[in-house]
Amino acid sequence: DLNKNQSYKQLMTLVDKYKTMGVRTNADTPKDVEQATYFGAEGVGLFRTEHMFYGEGSDKPLFLLRKMIMSDTEQERKSALNELFTFVKRDIKATLEVMKGNPVTIRLLDPPLHEFVPHDKAKLQELSKELGVSMSILNRRILALHENNPMLGHRGVRLGVSYPEITEMQVRAIFEAAGELQKEGVKAFPEIMIPVTCGRHELSHQKAIVDKVYDETLEKLGVKKIPYLYGTMIEIPRAALKADSMAMVADFFSFGTNDLTQMSFGFSRDDIGGFLPKYLDLKLLPGDPFVSIDQSGVGELIKIGVERGRKTKPNLKVGICGEHGGDAESVKFCHSIGMNYVSCSPFRVPIARLAAAQAAIEDKKYVKTS
Ligand code: PEP
Ligand code: MG
């Protein structure tokens, strides 16, 4: 038991005394959150709502999502969405509850929809029966979702714009979960985060939905206020460059350095085992950009994003939630450009805390500012 080890405990007490940046965790399930709290996470920097469509226990939610995308009657789509709402709210409520008022950044649905379509015959048959459409019609609908470059396609905020009802369902789940906890005497602080954005109008489009659902939820639950923040991932180079206007509609930025690295270098993040290791061995580029932030490239973009964002909104909250948030060198870089927090996988939380403290000590700026 790590927390019972005296030396570790002493070290971490010192670390927390010196570090100025917060350290949060990326967590996909309430169980991850508990694990990360044990390692000292001070909040959740990235809760990926899509986790419920993968792996154990995903059959029913996945089926409902498929139904919602592929039904042709409004009524069927609505009823699938309403049922899905129950699953989404349950998970979010459990996560907010574990965090007891510490911030939980909930990212709205990100992956391209075709990732969720069935490929095995039995599942296809089940869906065609449920929707009352022939296999050939169903196959045609699936084909219509096909994209040659799905990671550069219909994902993130683009889904929220095409399917505003999906955004609405998720946001309602967030506000109802937080509002109900408040009524039960449990503090909750959700941060709603929009993925894969590259301009301010996308953010305003989604914010209009958030505002409407917020008012409706206050009325439904009879509460005066539900504290929350609204913000965006910065993971497309254009978003970093347009940070001044993005900040007009965002309370916070979280740099998604997995996608930002992919889109800045043009290297596929899903093919890092291919030609890339040998190519990087040639030392034509500075290190592996998927491990440490490339300070002279992607890092510059991040710096520009932070500076431009804060020029518009001086108190803009800024963090990072890509894999780099758990890399010591990158954590130091994040400190140097004035980020408020880093977020990484649960097991990397102690490393990130240590690196954040080292950065503050080297910088001689270890008086806590927040
Ligand atoms: C990112 O792109 O850095 C990120 C955190 O999001 P995801 O890995 O889910 O695309
Ligand atoms: Mg991403």
For atom 6 of ligand 1, the residue with the nearest CA is 256
Nearest-angstrom CA–CA distance, 356 and 136: 56
> pLDDT at residue 368 above 90?
no
Percent of the chain with pLDDT over 70: 98
Q: How far is the CA of 48 from the centre of ligand 1 (A)?
A: 9
In terms of average pLDDT, the best of 45-54, 108-117, 172-181 is 172-181
Sorting pLDDT into bands at 50, 70 and 90, what band is 366?
A: low
274-283 residue pLDDT tens: 899 999 999 9
So what's the ipTM on this one?
0.99
Would you say the CB of residue 322 lies under 6 angstroms from ligand 1? yes
- Per-residue pLDDT tens digits for 157-173: 999 999 999 999 999 99
Q: Residue 289, by phi and psi: left (phi above 0), alpha (psi -120 to 50) or beta?
A: alpha
Question: What's the average model confidence in pLDDT over 348-370?
Answer: 85
Please indicate whether residue 198 is annotated as part of the active site. Answer: no
Q: What is the pLDDT of residues 126-138, one digit of tens each?
A: 889 988 889 999 8
The answer to whether the CB of 321 is under 6 A from ligand 1 is yes
Q: pLDDT band at 370, cuts 50/70/90?
A: very low
